[in-house]
Amino acid sequence: MCADEQFPSWWDDEASILMLDFGYDEGGEGSKLLVSVQLGTTRRLRRFSRRWKTLLRDSDVKFWHSIDYDNFSKGVFADLDGKARQKLLGRLARMIHDHMDVGITAVLDTALFERETDPRFRNEWGTAFCFAVENVAIYAYEWLLDAGRQMEPVNVLIEGGH
């Protein structure tokens, strides 16, 4: 989320927002797909947005970009040493924990998905990405059911990147 983004004014403060963030984990084996969803009320997410922007701005980081976290020569964290990065990550993680009702992440090995599924399955269920999105959406809905919140409006925000 960039420092200058705004939440749309039409969101009701009590409505839940289901934010879907998608990204490949380009570290490690390179075939891991991460699809995450966070769920919270608009009021809490507006507060989160303000604090997130302030923390990034105070740290001289334009936006969060996970792939750059361990890159000490370039990227959005280039001016932060390891200790400063750990401190920022810890503070951001705490902030997410404090402002979100729930967070769900699907981790899928795309090479394994291609190897273990056939074209018929992929035609019915979609790509590894679609399969992961469908799964986090189902788990988010299950969470809403368990929390007794299945009847409240849910706005779906799909992160556009930076």
| 143 belongs to a structural domain | yes
| 60 belongs to a structural domain | yes
Element at 29 (helix H, strand E): none
Tokens (6 digits) for 91: 């503070």
| 109 belongs to a structural domain | yes
- Of 126, 145, 123, which Cα lies nearest the Cα of 135? 126
| 3 belongs to a structural domain | no
pLDDT in tens, 5-44: 555 544 566 666 666 444 443 333 578 888 888 888 878 8
| 53 belongs to a structural domain | yes
| 8 Å CB contact between 23 and 34 | yes
Instruction: Return the pLDDT at 1.
Output: 45
Instruction: Return the pLDDT at 160.
Output: 57
Q: Is beta strand 32-41 parallel, antiparallel or unpaired with respect to 16-25?
A: antiparallel
pTM (2 d.p.): 0.69
Instruction: Return the pLDDT at 153.
Output: 75
Total structural domains within the chain: 1
pLDDT in tens, 89-113: 999 889 988 988 888 888 889 999 9
Tokens (6 digits) for 139: 């788990």
pLDDT in tens, 48-60: 889 999 999 999 9
| 8 Å CB contact between 63 and 3 | yes
H-assigned helices in the chain: 42-58, 82-99, 110-116, 119-125, 128-146
Higher pLDDT, 98 or 158: 98
- Residues 75-98 have a mean pLDDT of 92
Query: pLDDT over 70 for what percent of the chain?
Result: 78
| 8 belongs to a structural domain | no
Instruction: Return the pLDDT at 146.
Output: 93
Distances (CA, A) of 55 to 11, 60, 89, 132: 24, 9, 10, 30
AA letter at 76:
V
| 2 belongs to a structural domain | no
pLDDT for 151 beyond 50? yes
CATH of the domain at 139: 3.30.420
What are residue 16's phi and psi, to 5 degrees?
Answer: -85, 145
Query: pLDDT over 90 for what percent of the chain?
Result: 31
| 147 belongs to a structural domain | yes
Element at 106 (helix H, strand E): strand 102-109
Cβ neighbours around 78 below 10 Å, total: 12
Higher pLDDT, 86 or 38: 86
Domain of residue 59 covers 16-158
